[in-house]
Structure 1
Amino acid sequence: MMESWATFGADLHLDLSAGRGLRAGLTEALREAARSGRLAAGTRLPSSRSLAADLGIARNTVAEAYAELVAEGWLTARQGSGTRVAERARPRRSAAPARVRRPARGGPSYSLMPGSPDLAGFPRAAWLSAARRALTGAPNEAFGYEGDARGRVELRRALADYLARARGVYADPERVVLTAGFVHGLKLLARVLRARRVREVAVEGYGLDYHRDVLVRAGLRTRPLGVDGDGARTGELTGAAGAGGAVGAPGAVLLTPAHQFPTGAALTPARRAAAVDWARTTGGLILEDDYDGEFRYDRQPVGALQGLDPDRVVYLGTASKSLAPGLRMGWMVLPPGLLDEVLAVKGLGDRTSSALEQLTLAEFITSGAYDRHVRGMRVRYRRRRDELVAAVGGRVAVSGIAAGLHAVLDLPAGTERSVLQSAAWQDLAVCGLARFRHPEAELPARDALVVGYGTPPDSAWTPTLAALAAALP
């Protein structure tokens, strides 16, 4: 009987028709896939648990759909053989059949795009338990219109304790401001910098373009710093000595010191010290993006840069990588002299996540569930990283793998575009390193892929690795 690895989990590409119940929609989608021949006779379907996890629906819904189709004769279910598409007459085809296309899901079948965790790994049961406890103990005023512009004090206290313990951050709850994520925090800081008459912000030569866009839209220029195996070349900041915000000198610098994005380098102690010395000398600010500091694999965690000088460093973190970006939960730890200015531009009207979500995260952290979840995901992501290295080992060099959710695969010179095209033919979404290069950066030529191994669900991991291996030279 025919069996294809490309049909497991999310790779069934089912189109659940809008306006129908979940079970009816799933049943019809599977029936049509078998009727049309898109799911060939003998194809083994994923388990009800796996498909339910990928589709984000109840396992019973999948089991009931399978049972109905077995009764109709579209599927078969045998002990030890799983659920398969039944042997039926082949579908009739026209004389000149067009290539059958998979239903669109908004993108390629497989994704190794960096920047996302495995969303199927969100701790639903533990989060629900925390939400119940938070709701039970929530004060009545938490449901009102009024509130602290910094966010719920319960979460600010929980974060202050956690960040001090896990990341070495000096965090007074009074100086913690909750945001809807890193970009939200950066927008607020950009407005403050512009109000301070800052004209230029130094950024890493490799980084996210939409972070640079936030600064540019606020009226700030961006100056790229060189990046190498030791992280950003912060010594280049001293070449622009002068009062913070003076014409020609950056008034702030945006860094990812624990795990440079996307190259994966950790900023060395000497370069950390150079950045802090620059900030103290010029009055400039360091904006620290600690986007995945919890995930270290091969050595002790690299502490936050903020610990070297809490008066000159703004620490920014989020729950986007450790939990899920859909929570829209981030935070800033501000120097004392910056708090009033940030709150002035934020205001009470600039709300973030709901009070109940903030209370839930506070409960999730203080109960120890957050630490347990991070430890479990750290094991899971390390296993994926090791499997990625094994899958491409000997063909390309892999770097930036001591931490985080992505790796850099170096390619032969001049091949980045062709490899990306090959990946597209494999129906695989992946990024080239050139995508992250600042347009004005003077960096050595480097062809590479930035591979986000945290992105695929478990059911798609093996075929996604196969697609990547097929795309490499």
Structure 2
Amino acid sequence: MLPVHLDRGRPEPLPAQLAAAVRALVTDGTLTTGDRLPSSRALAADLGVARAVVEQAYDQLLAEAWVETRRGSGTFVASGEALPVAPAPPRPASRDPRYVRLDAGTPWIDPRHLAGWRRAWREVSVARPPRGYPDPRGGPELREALAERLARTRGLTVAPDEILVTGGTTDGLRQLLGVLDPGPVLVEDPGYRAAVETVRAAGRRVADHPATAPVTGLDGCVAAYVTPAHQHPLGRVMPAADRLALLGAARSAGAVVLEDDYDSEFRYDVAPVPALAALDRSRVAYLGTAAKSVSPGLRLGWLVAPPHLHELLVRRRTTTHDTPPWATQRALLTLLRDGWVDKVVRTARRVYAERAPRVAAALGPHATLAGPLAGMYSTWLTSADAATAARDAARAAGFDLPLLAQYCRTADLSGLVVGFGGVTDDELDRALDVLARSLAAD
């Protein structure tokens, strides 16, 4: 039997504990290439757990290439060339390799789903690419799949020809800014930093607006950029009255509302909030992304623009060929058709629903939660000194996370933005311990 101990008192699920223990046995040399692991039935009996616990752990190790199966023989430690280089489950590289980054935008992708990802790219390799330049709106079949998904998950009924496939949210925003009349753009403060820089790069002035205050007037502005389903980074849901006030202000000023719907699928307290665009398609441009449900590195998103802007965008894209690569579009189509995206979203939602209360339990006694728990991060209000001290303590322990002040331009707010998607359970718990101890000492 394996020298493994599982602790039901730890926050990590038993399958995750078992998988981590097997990895450690391989990396310390206790298990070597070709060693046969106990059968799931035998190991479950030895550990006193359900057989499903062992099967889930073996499935994860198989997806990560730590083990391999041989028909009729069992499960074995993988051959040397097949073993992963790193002992930890896959997670995106930090911006600085010295730190594990707890950022607000990196999702959790269960390693058990990697087979579906590989299958999608195999299909790309045998598919026939379009002749000449692709459709400037994006692949027809992908737009059909996206239209179905928007209707099913966001209450937004659109025809495939009304959708434009983009290179992500900021790309869609950049393209929209290119066809709007001259003028400043209202942006929430604090708000999404990439959107602010995109507006500025387009040569437009950013008009700051308090993120928690209703927009009652847009005189002088050509557009308002908002994140109504889950305000970034405070986490607030825009109330119904504020939504109606914003739409009324846009109509009065002849302005466009730019709705960034970046992570609405990851509500775990209530059903996802309906898209603002569903209330007024003539006044709202809807921006969606695959970054949170598939991968930030895929660089794909979608845009549903008001009709008068849609035609301008199509004409411009026909000339500039400003569309994402055909291969990535084709891969996303396969992931949607196979139900892979739905599966990944469901799995990630369960992980976030389990992690968010752990973050709240650790930080709640020392800081104030800025908005409801949702998505893959939460924002905590503290004094500026406490936030800086906690951030510095985290960095000393090998973790990096943003300060709320980094999202502010004129807003006088301070605190921490704690992401919990792109980390392992063990990394999260260690980071929370450091942050809680620092905040408690303030």
Summarize the Cα distance change of 1:367–1:48 in structure 2 as closer, same or farther, 3 Å threshold: closer
Does the Cα contact within 8 Å between 1:178 and 1:329 map onto a contact in 2? yes
2: CA distance, partners of 1:293 / 1:206: 19
| CA 209–413 in structure 1, closer or farther in 2 if over 3 Å, else same | closer
* Equivalent residue, structure 2, for 1:204: 188
Q: Does structure 2 retain, via aligned residues, the 8 Å contact 1:148–1:348?
A: no
Give the CA deviation at 1:297.
Answer: 1.1
- How far residue 48 of structure 1 moved from its aligned partner, in angstroms, is 10
Amino acid at match of 2:261: D
Q: Say if 1:205 and 1:226, in contact at 8 Å, map to a contact too.
A: yes
Among candidates 211, 233, 249, match of residue 262 of structure 1: 233
Residue of 264, 272, 286 corresponding to 1:315: 286
**Corresponding residue number in structure 1 for 2:104:** 114
Deviation at 1:117, TM superposition (A): 0.8
Q: What is the correspondence of 1:65-144 to structure 2 with a 5 Å cutoff?
A: 65=80, 106-119=96-109, 121=111, 123-132=113-122, 138=127, 140=128, 142-144=129-131
Aligned-partner Cα distance in 1 for 2:198–2:434: 34
Confirm or deny that 1:156 pairs with 2:143.
Answer: yes
Q: What are the superposed Cα offsets for residues 277-302 of structure 1, whole Å, 9 maximum, x if unpaired?
A: 11222211010000001000111210
Distance (whole Å) between structure 2 residues aligned to residue 106 and residue 469 of structure 1: 23
Could you tell me which of 336, 343, 366 is aligned with 1:365?
A: 336
> In the alignment, which residue of structure 2 is the partner of 1:276?
247
Aligned-partner Cα distance in 1 for 2:237–2:111: 27
CA distance in 2, matches of 1:66, 1:176: 44
- The offset of 1:57, in angstroms, is 6.2
The one of 160, 167, 182 aligned to 1:180: 167
- CA distance in structure 1 between the aligned counterparts of 2:139 and 2:125, rounded to whole angstroms: 14
Give 2:214's match in structure 1, choosing from 233, 236, 243.
233
Give a deviation string over 1:238-263, Cα, whole Å, max 9, x none.
1x43xxxxxxx101000000000000
Shift of 1:210: 2.8
Are the counterparts in 1 of residues 137 and 323 from structure 2 also a CA contact under 8 Å? Answer: no
Q: Tell whether the 8 Å contact from 2:356 to 2:373 is kept in structure 1 after alignment.
A: no
CA-to-partner distance for each residue in 1:64-123, whole Å, 9 max, x for gaps? 45999xxxxxxxxxxxxxxxxxxxxxxxxxxxxxxxxxxx99334332121111256583
- After superposition, the Cα gap between the structure-2 partners of 1:353 and 1:105, relative to the gap in structure 1 and judged at 3 Å, is closer
Q: Give the share of equivalent positions with the same residue, in percent.
A: 33
The answer to whether the 8 A contact 2:389-2:438 is kept is no
Cα distance 1:59–1:188, how it changes in 2: closer, same or farther (>3 A)?
Answer: farther
Query: CA 1:261 to 1:470, structure 2 compared with 1: closer, same or farther past 3 Å?
Result: same
Shift in Å at residue 459 of structure 1? 5.1
Gap change, CA 1:154 and 1:122, over 3 Å in 2:
farther
How many equivalent pairs are there? 382
Gaps of 5+ in 2: 1-16, 21-26, 29-56, 69-75, 84-93
Give the match for residue 207 of structure 2: 223
| Contact 1:285-1:313 at 8 Å conserved across structures | yes
Identify the residue that residue 146 of structure 1 maps to in structure 2.
133
Say which is worse superposed, 346-355 or 264-273, in terms of deviation: 346-355
Q: Could you give the per-residue CA deviations for residues 120-164 of structure 1, whole angstroms, max 9, x where no partner exists?
A: 65832123334555666x4x4x34323211110001011011101
User: What is the one-letter code of the residue matched to 1:374?
Assistant: V
Q: 2:355 aligns with which of 374, 384, 401?
A: 384
Letter of the 1:411 counterpart: T
Residues 106 and 417 of structure 1: is their aligned pair in 2 closer, same or farther, counting only changes over 3 Å? closer
* Shift of residue 215, structure 1, vs aligned partner: 1.1
Structure 2 residue identity aligned to 1:471 = S
Q: Which residue of structure 2 aligns with residue 167 of structure 1?
A: 154
Q: Counterpart in 2 of 1:17? A: none
Query: Could you say if the C-alpha distance between residues 122 and 283 of structure 1 is closer, same or farther in structure 2, counting changes exceeding 3 Å?
Result: farther
**Equivalent position SS for 1:224:** strand
> What residue identity is the alignment partner of 2:214?
R
The structure-2 alpha-carbon separation of the partners of 1:225 and 1:458, relative to structure 1 and needing over 3 Å to count, comes to same
Letter in 1 for 2:103: M
Find the aligned partners of 2:207 and 2:145 in 1 and give their Cα distance. 36
- On the 8 A contact 2:137/2:163 being kept in 1, the answer is yes
Structure 1 residue aligned with 2:407: 436
Alignment TM-score, normalising by the size of structure 1: 0.72
Q: Report if aligned partners of 2:378, 2:417 keep a CA contact under 8 Å in 1.
A: yes
The structure whose Rg is larger is: 1
Supply the distance in 1 between the matched residues of 2:426 and 2:130 (Cα, whole angstroms): 40
Supply the AA of the counterpart residue of 1:173: P
Counterpart of 1:314 in 2: which secondary structure? Answer: strand
| Cα gap change, 1:135 to 1:396, in 2 (>3 Å) | same
Q: Would you identify which runs of 4 or more consecutive aligned residues in structure 1 move more than 6 Å?
A: 47-53
Amino acid at match of 2:429: T
Question: For residues 247 and 416 of structure 2, what CA distance do their matches in structure 1 show?
Answer: 32
What is the match of residue 272 of structure 2? 301
Closer, same or farther: CA 269–67 of 1 in aligned 2, 3 Å: closer
